[in-house]
DNA sequence: TTGTACGCGTTATCAT
DNA sequence: ATGATAACGCGTACAA
């Protein structure tokens, strides 16, 4: 391993000058810069990050905490965060909490030890641990997709209530009158979507949709829908609004298993527009949120906060959503009650 | 930020003792350990990673290079790597190359600067850049899923040829005689799968399957299948083997668009068994590889190499695969030629 | 069982 | 435009 001292010696200058030739933070004569560059190339010199970190007090590392990177929603988020990180010369440490408390505590220690300069935190469950909030206090944090630590933290979210409303208006326009909502109770984002849907529904003087709880997963959607159907596979609804796509897909699976066709018998609307929403047959009608953008902007804000040594402004940034109509919704064919 | 010196002062001991009380690498009296622990708790002390890194020469960081974290195959791989990393007290830096050369060069610089102690490298394209190979030489590397740097590097792969054979035997058992293969030419893993399939096919005296090239993506599969059908949507095959699931799904999309039913008209087999393979309708018949395990074992080997300062043994670790029969394959209904 | 002293490789400060 | 020197905070031989 070449050190800065070696480079300096071979180039006949001081380590200080080598450092500045590299960083450009101080004027260096063209002649000197060239000679230094030559020696560096020859030695394949690259400054050691560990030493830079100690000297500067930073790590050029961002932490991204997500509940499940296998959910392509969070994978897309990660790509947005990474892009912003790269643009600013940072790298990204992926922390997949996997809904595991022990794992989260481990990552807290990572944060406490200042292994990263800041954190983008996408919470996956309603319960946020006090330890998390406390530890995060020591370095800048921005919340994405889910607000959990109270209003005092900078957050980037989609317009969830509006998304719920869009889904409802679409189904109402197709003549549906009876709907069920599949939602993960307690998760703010899910609750907001369900509420937006419900509000729009009743504002049209339609019967209040029943809310059925379930995890934010494929299996969660499958199980939730199972709870919605009667013992003889009889249903009293013609539309299903799932507060995320994975749940919607799970629900569709269950519907098909009991012999109900989508969209002929039941229309289904999801939320997120993850990449597989367009791959199913029929394609899933859903509310699209630009999660890449969410991650990108969140990371940008985080980096700005790090670079200026100011905590991220405690603002709530809300991004618009969009209804994507595919094949899982159609005109209501069932008789009105 | 509390330092080790402060803790030492308040506990009335030397920094050395504080260090050892924390690491346990040297005996410390129970009485002293307790007092030190008390002060640390009180100050919320946590040693700074940057300083530890400089002192030890390591970073406790693993790099994971993948072409696309949105592909749940690589997300699952990441989870396996992360698990092994966590178990050994490491964190994982995610490097999503996104098939982008500039991005790869950027990550090379990350590696050269010793920002990570080792790299798990999942190559996503046939062309591997010499710069990559050279830079990786400076720190331990293990290859996963794809062997690109020559046989001198430690690698963990699935039994791709056997997987292709399993797919072929399954289809042959169902009476199929004419198949096409959708493969990403040049990618060793894809080529091996295609070859295994082809070999099994001709060993049954069936006509050699036509290989159609395409990217390892949903769109790639869609486009590849489009190339396989005649201008009047006529086909001369009853079975499709795609060398990954995403391609298979894209191909199915195209098949349905031109009015062909899966599996009634055409049977489809994929490879990987990514999580969405079971979510489609019908579920995708595919060759399962345990990619989590692949990542876990690769990371374990990498960490062992780091901890022992020995380069990873240049072995090729092959993992078994398994055929998962779902709904996209059925008895061949078309007349034999 | 505990302490002293040094080194890790860089950047900031001050001086020239 | 360049150089000398002092941290940065920790781990660890070596000494006691």
B133: closest CA of chain A, how far (Å):
15
Looking at strand D, which nucleotides approach a protein CB closer than 7 A? 1-5, 7-13
End-to-end CA distance of chain A: 79
- Mean pLDDT in residue range B58-86: 96
Q: Which two tokens stand for residue A128?
A: 């946020």
pLDDT at A129 over 60: no
Q: What residue is closest to C11 (Cα–C1')? A: A55
User: What's residue B335's pLDDT?
Assistant: 55
Q: Strand C neighbours with CB under 7 A?
A: A 1, 3-5, 15-16, 19, 22-23, 25, 45, 47-48, 51-52, 54-56; B 12-17, 20, 26-29, 31-32, 54-55
Residues 6+ apart with CB under 8 A from A200: A164, A165, A168, A169, A172
Q: Please check whether residue A184 is in contact with residue A190, taking contact to mean a CB–CB distance below 8 angstroms.
A: yes
Name the band, by pLDDT with cuts 50, 70 and 90, for residue B337. Answer: very low
pLDDT at B128 over 80: no
pLDDT above 90 covers a percentage of chain B that reads 80
Cβ-based neighbour number of residue A336 at 10 Å: 8
- Look at B133 and A233; give whichever has higher pLDDT: A233
- Mean pLDDT in residue range B13-27: 93
Most B CBs within 10 Å, among A45, A47, A48, A50, to test the B interface? A50
B309 vs A: CB within 8 A? no
User: What's residue B167's pLDDT?
Assistant: 98
Q: Is the CB of A55 under 7 A from strand D?
A: yes
B323/C12 CA-to-C1' distance in Å: 62
A 110-149 → B contacts, CB under 8 A = 110, 112-115
pLDDT at A230 over 60: yes
- Name the DSSP class of A249: H
User: What's residue B336's pLDDT?
Assistant: 45
pLDDT at A135 over 80: no
Residue of B nearest to A46 (CA): B113
B1/D16 CA-to-C1' distance in Å: 32
- Mean pLDDT in residue range B227-238: 86
Q: What residue is closest to C5 (Cα–C1')? A: B16
Residue of B nearest to A69 (CA): B75
Asked if the bond preceding B263 is cis, omega within 30° of 0, the reply is yes
d(CA B272, CA A296): 30
Name the band, by pLDDT with cuts 50, 70 and 90, for residue B59. Answer: very high
Question: Considering all CA atoms of chain B, what is the largest pairwise distance in Å, rounded to the nearest integer?
Answer: 91
Of A54, A79, A253, the CB nearest to B51: A54
Residues 6+ apart with CB under 8 A from A12: A35
**Cα of A335 vs its chain's centroid, Å:** 40
Residue of A nearest to B78 (CA): A69
Q: Please check whether residue B140 is in contact with residue B118, taking contact to mean a CB–CB distance below 8 angstroms.
A: yes
* Record: contact B279-A92, CB cut-off 8 A: no
Count CA within 13 A, CB hemisphere, residue B68: 15
A302/C9 CA-to-C1' distance in Å: 28
d(CA B147, CA B51): 36
Q: What are phi and psi of A109, to 5 degrees?
A: -65, -40
pLDDT above 90 covers a percentage of chain A that reads 79
Q: Is the CB of A17 under 7 A from strand D?
A: yes
User: What's residue A333's pLDDT?
Assistant: 81
Q: What are phi and psi of A322, to 5 degrees?
A: -150, 140
B72 vs A: CB within 8 A? yes
Cβ-based neighbour number of residue A205 at 10 Å: 7
* Record: contact A51-B54, CB cut-off 8 A: yes
User: What's residue B108's pLDDT?
Assistant: 83
Of A50, A112, A250, the CB nearest to B59: A50
Q: Which two tokens stand for residue A30?
A: 């063209």
- Look at A261 and A131; give whichever has higher pLDDT: A261
pLDDT at B237 over 70: yes
Q: Which two tokens stand for residue B113?
A: 């600067």
B85 vs A: CB within 8 A? no
End-to-end CA distance of chain B: 79
- Look at B149 and A47; give whichever has higher pLDDT: A47
Q: Which residues of B touch A91 (CB under 8 A)?
A: 93, 95, 110, 115
Most A CBs within 10 Å, among B75, B250, B251, B275, to test the A interface? B75
pLDDT digits (tens, 9 = 90+) for A64-80: 999 999 999 999 999 99
- Look at A44 and B320; give whichever has higher pLDDT: B320
Q: Is the CB of A5 under 7 A from strand D?
A: no
Nearest-CA neighbor of A328 among A298, A319, A98, A271? Answer: A271
Identify the weakest region by mean pLDDT among A145-159, A167-181, A182-196.
A145-159
pLDDT at A329 over 50: yes
pLDDT at A271 over 60: yes
* Record: contact B93-A92, CB cut-off 8 A: yes
Nearest-CA neighbor of A301 among A91, A138, A144, A132? Answer: A144
pLDDT at B145 over 60: yes
Three-state SS at A62: strand
Any idea how long chain A is? 337
Query: Could you tell me how many CB contacts below 8 A there are between chain A and chain B?
Result: 130
Of A1, A252, A279, the CB nearest to B253: A279
B3/C8 CA-to-C1' distance in Å: 18
* Record: contact B53-A54, CB cut-off 8 A: yes
Integer angstrom CA distances of residue A258 from A230, A277, A293, B291, B325: 11, 22, 39, 33, 21
Pairing of strands A285-289, A321-324: antiparallel
B256 vs A: CB within 8 A? yes
pLDDT at B253 over 70: yes
pLDDT at A91 over 80: yes
d(CA A177, CA A215): 26
Detail the DSSP E strand segments found in chain A.
61-66, 91-96, 118-121, 141-144, 155-158, 179-183, 210-213, 239-242, 267-272, 285-289, 316-319, 321-324
Of A47, A96, A106, the CB nearest to B113: A47
- Mean pLDDT in residue range B46-66: 95
User: What's residue A108's pLDDT?
Assistant: 84
User: What's residue A101's pLDDT?
Assistant: 79
pLDDT digits (tens, 9 = 90+) for B149-191: 665 789 999 999 999 999 999 999 999 999 999 999 989 999 9
pLDDT digits (tens, 9 = 90+) for B196-220: 999 999 999 999 999 999 999 999 9
Asked if the bond preceding B282 is cis, omega within 30° of 0, the reply is yes
| A286: β partners | A270, A324
Q: What are phi and psi of B317, to 5 degrees?
A: -100, 120
pLDDT at B333 over 90: no
User: What's residue A289's pLDDT?
Assistant: 97
pLDDT at B133 over 70: no
User: What's residue B182's pLDDT?
Assistant: 98
- Mean pLDDT in residue range B55-78: 95
A 236-255 → B contacts, CB under 8 A = 249-250, 252-253
Domains of chain B (ranges; CATH) run 4-56 (1.10.260.40), 61-158+290-319 (3.40.50.2300), 160-288 (3.40.50.2300)
Q: Is the CB of B185 under 7 A from strand D?
A: no
- Alpha helices (runs of H) in B1-46, residue ranges in sequence order: 4-11, 15-23, 30-43
What is the torsional sign of CA B207, B213, B216, B220? negative
Integer angstrom CA distances of residue A30 from A13, A24, A42, A90: 13, 12, 18, 29
* Record: contact B114-A46, CB cut-off 8 A: yes
Q: Which two tokens stand for residue A191?
A: 């609750």
User: What's residue B9's pLDDT?
Assistant: 93
Detail the DSSP E strand segments found in B159-228.
179-183, 210-213
User: What's residue A128's pLDDT?
Assistant: 61
* Record: contact A75-B76, CB cut-off 8 A: no
**Cα of A30 vs its chain's centroid, Å:** 46
Q: Is the CB of A15 under 7 A from strand D?
A: yes
pLDDT above 70 covers a percentage of chain A that reads 95
- Mean pLDDT in residue range B95-110: 84
Task: Round the average pLDDT of chain A to a whole number and report it.
Answer: 92
pLDDT at B241 over 60: yes
User: At how many degrees (to 10) do helices B188-203 and B160-173 cross?
Assistant: 40
User: What's residue A211's pLDDT?
Assistant: 97
d(CA B326, CA B279): 11
User: What's residue B274's pLDDT?
Assistant: 97
Looking at strand C, which nucleotides approach a protein CB closer than 7 A? 1-5, 7-13
């Amino acid at each position: 391993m070449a050190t800065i001292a070696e480079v300096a010696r071979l180039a006949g200058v001081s380590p200080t000058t080598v450092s500045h030739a590299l960083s450009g933070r101080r004027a260096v004569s063209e002649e000197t810069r060239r000679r230094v560059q030559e020696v560096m190339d020859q030695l394949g010199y690259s400054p050691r990050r560990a030493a830079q970190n100690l000297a500067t007090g930073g790590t050029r590392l961002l932490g991204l905490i997500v509940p499940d990177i296998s959910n392509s929603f969070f994978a897309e988020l990660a790509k947005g965060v990474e892009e912003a990180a790269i643009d600013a010369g940072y790298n990204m440490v992926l922390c997949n909490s996997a809904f595991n408390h022990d794992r989260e505590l481990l990552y807290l220690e990572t944060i406490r030890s200042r292994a990263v300069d800041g954190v983008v935190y996408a919470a996956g469950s309603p319960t946020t641990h006090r330890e998390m909030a406390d530890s995060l206090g020591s370095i800048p944090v921005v919340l994405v997709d889910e607000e959990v630590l109270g209003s005092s933290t900078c957050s980037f979210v989609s317009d969830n209530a509006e998304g719920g409303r869009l889904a409802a208006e679409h189904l109402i326009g197709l003549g549906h009158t009876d709907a069920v909502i599949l939602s993960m109770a307690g998760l703010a984002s899910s609750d907001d979507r369900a509420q937006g849907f419900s509000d729009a529904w009743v504002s049209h003087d339609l019967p209040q949709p029943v809310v059925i709880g379930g995890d934010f997963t494929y299996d969660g959607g499958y199980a939730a829908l199972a709870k919605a159907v009667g013992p003889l596979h009889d249903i009293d609804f013609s539309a299903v609004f799932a507060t995320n796509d994975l749940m919607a897909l799970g629900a569709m699976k269950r519907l098909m298993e009991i012999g109900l066709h989508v969209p002929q018998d039941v229309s289904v609307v999801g939320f997120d527009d993850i990449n597989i929403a367009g791959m199913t047959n029929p394609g899933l009608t859903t509310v699209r949120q630009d999660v890449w953008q969410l991650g990108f902007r969140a990371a940008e804000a985080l980096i700005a906060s790090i670079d200026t040594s100011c905590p991220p402004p405690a603002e709530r940034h809300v991004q618009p959503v969009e209804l994507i109509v595919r094949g899982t919704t159609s005109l209501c064919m069932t008789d009105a009650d």
